[in-house]
Amino acid sequence: MTEVAEYVEVHRHPEPTSFISKWIFSIDHKVIGIQYILLAIVAVFIGMGLSLLVRLRLVWPEKSFAILGDLFPIGAPDGVMTPEFYLAMLTMHGTVMVFMVLTTAPQGGFGNYFLPIQIGAADMAFPRLNMLSFWTTFLSFCALMVAFLVEGGAPISGWTAYPPLSALNAAAMEGTGQDWWIISIALFCIASLLGALNFIVTTLELRAKGLTMMRLPLTVWTWFVTAILGLLAFGVLLAAGILLLLDRNLGTSFFIPGGLVVNDQLVNHSGGSPILWQHLFWFFGHPEVYIAILPGMGVTSHVLATFARKTVFGYKAMVYAILAIGGLGFVVWGHHMFMSGMSPYSAFVFSVLTMCIGVPSAIKTFNWIGTLWGGKIRFTTPMLYAIGFVSLFVTGGLSGIFLGQPTVDLWFHDTYFVVAHFHLIMGVAAIFGMFSGLTFWFPKMFGRFMSEGLGRIHFWLTFIGVYAIFGPMHYLGMIPHPRRYAETTGVDFLAAGGANEIQYFITIAAMITITAQFLFLFNFLWSLFKGKVCTEDNPWEATTLEWAIPSPPPHDNFAGKIPTVYRGAYDFSLPNAKRDFAMQCNSDEMVFPRSSGD
């Protein structure tokens, strides 16, 4: 055997033996992937708990909840939540969800686990860096949790941390909560940058022989483009965070204007611009929403093709759409700032560019439907979640088109209409992508299936639940019900529009939907130990490389033999083939019966 060929067969790091090197400080991309997923699961339940508090306060502003009084004697004296407490819970809900859930699990979790396997690599390009990314993310999570515990409590300026509120130490709630928030976000940025670097180099350099870019599974494409977005976006947030930290602690005035009076005190700053923060934040923020959703799109394409037994409709168009979304995502941030006093000309430009993003989004949607069209559909739970993703993406995307018009946004900005928009499309659609990915890959990762029955019940409860929660919010936004107010029950025009009853309905729906998530958690944990055993490598009859190796995969993925790739990622229902699918590592001789002439 030649040296080179043998190199290919050499595994890059030996299997660790101690518990710590195997499960804690692991450099194995699969373990790190699972660590990210577990972190996201912990975070998502915390985030959900916070949202419950938010919903309770909205509907029963004066009601006393005894446990809260014990848990948060300052934020909820005698169990009645203060308005600041409401804002703090809201801020932490958004931050935990956007950063610790939507940015970790789809990319750091599933991406880490499956990107190397799907490209036929033994690991990421830089395994130690990978470990560093995870542990920095973990530190970031801890720093965020510290914000709950410090004096003055968690920050109240929302997940977007708009100054001056976020920049003033003397603001309503004094304390270091906001500083911990910034530290957490800064750490998160660093971790994400390191992760992005790793993903990019891995995708470019470690592909198996024969695996050209245009043969990559769409999941890999989305992880790759997400990494590029992260690389270019997180640095900007990091920079903005540092400026904010300086404003808060070293007396600079980047974001704080002069002549500001807070709590009857003249603030000793001058000349800064809160709008500058908005620009920096949204330059990051809009790519960030795509960072959250792109991996979900990849999983959806992957799962739809697998269970419709059809190749992805318009694979190339899908790739170009992913690239277009990624590229355009950097030039539309102004649509979050139509109301910031920007010139109508800029608003117009941002609006047109925003509409442009609808085109690749629509291409993707049509291609998903095209993939389903005429397929021999197998309604497994991952498939249900993937279809749910498409539904939610369409609903959420349509409201985006409204918001993208400056004149319409005049009315809708900072109302519940926006809340409905981004929850459906970013929050819930991305989460459905994760549900789909987790149920789809669970047998590969853990060698057992998740329960289909529980999965179905959970799907329907959640699918109907989220529409019940976020559907009516569109109407609330039209009244127009502003977002981020702790107490609106006494406002006449809202009450006249029926807001109180609707908010009540939404809170009940939220409680039911939140309860349903414990079903998923139970399904996950139960299936880990008691689920139906998966003995096959390829239980779903899928085509990509992760299904060519045992479930769960051995430590070195391909047992030292890097596969060669012969075909695109979605060869289903090939005419004349022996089976209705051909795996990427199957050569033509393996796929087609020998012709008689041979």
Residue 292 touching ligand HEM (CB under 6 A): yes
Q: Can residue 561 be called a binding residue for other proteins (CB under 8 A)?
A: no
Ramachandran angles phi, psi of 171, nearest 5°: -65, 175
- On whether the CB atoms of residues 387 and 368 are closer than 8 A, the answer is no
Q: Does 307 bind ligand HEM (CB under 6 A)?
A: no
Q: 10 Å Cβ neighbour count for 21?
A: 15
**CB of residue 159 to Cu ion, shortest distance in Å:** 13
**3-class secondary structure, 530:** helix
Give me the 252-291 binding string for Cu ion, x by CB under 5 A, dash otherwise. ----------------------------------x-----
Judged by CB under 8 A, the residue of 218, 236, 304, 403 near other proteins is 236
Taking the CB of residue 506, how many other CB atoms lie within 10 A of it? 21
| The binder of ligand HEM chosen from 29, 30, 335, 481 (CB under 6 A) | 335
Establish if 20 lies at the interface with other proteins (CB under 8 A): no
> Which of residues 116 and 285 has its CB atom nearest to Cu ion in the complex?
285
Could you say whether residue 119 binds other proteins (CB under 8 A)? yes
Q: Which two tokens stand for residue 285?
A: 């923020």
- Nearest distance in Å: CB 374, other proteins: 32
Instruction: Give the contact letters, 360-399, x = binds to ligand HEM (CB under 6 A), - = no.
Output: -x-----------------------------------x--
CA dist 228 to 119, 189, 288, 493, 500, Å?
18, 14, 11, 46, 44
User: What residues from 247 to 276 belong to the interface with other proteins (CB under 8 A)?
Assistant: 250-254, 258, 270-273, 276
- Residues 430 and 514 sit within 8 Å (Cβ to Cβ): no
Tokens representing residue 188 in the block: 């998160």
Q: Which two tokens stand for residue 178?
A: 């906001």
Q: What are the distances in angstroms from CA 210 to CA 169, 318, 585?
A: 57, 21, 9
The answer to whether the beta carbons of residues 196 and 228 sit under 8 Å apart is: yes
122 sits in which H/E element: none
Angle at 124 between CA 45 and CA 11, to 5 degrees: 125
Give least dist CB 122 to other proteins, A.
Answer: 10
Please, what is the minimum distance in Å from the beta carbon of residue 152 to ligand HEM?
23
Q: Does 481 bind Cu ion (CB under 5 A)?
A: no
Q: Binds 483, which of Cu ion, ligand HEM, other proteins, none (CB < 5 to 8 A, cut-off by type)?
A: none
Amino acid at 83: P
Among 562, 569, 582, 591, binds other proteins (CB under 8 A): 562
Q: How far apart are CA 289 and CA 232, in angstroms?
A: 14
Which parts of this chain interact with other proteins (CB under 8 A)? Answer: 2-4, 6-14, 119-120, 125-126, 128, 193, 196-198, 200-201, 204-213, 215, 231-236, 238-240, 242-243, 246, 250-254, 258, 270-273, 276, 279-280, 283, 562
- Chain contacts with Cu ion (rule: CB under 5 A): 286
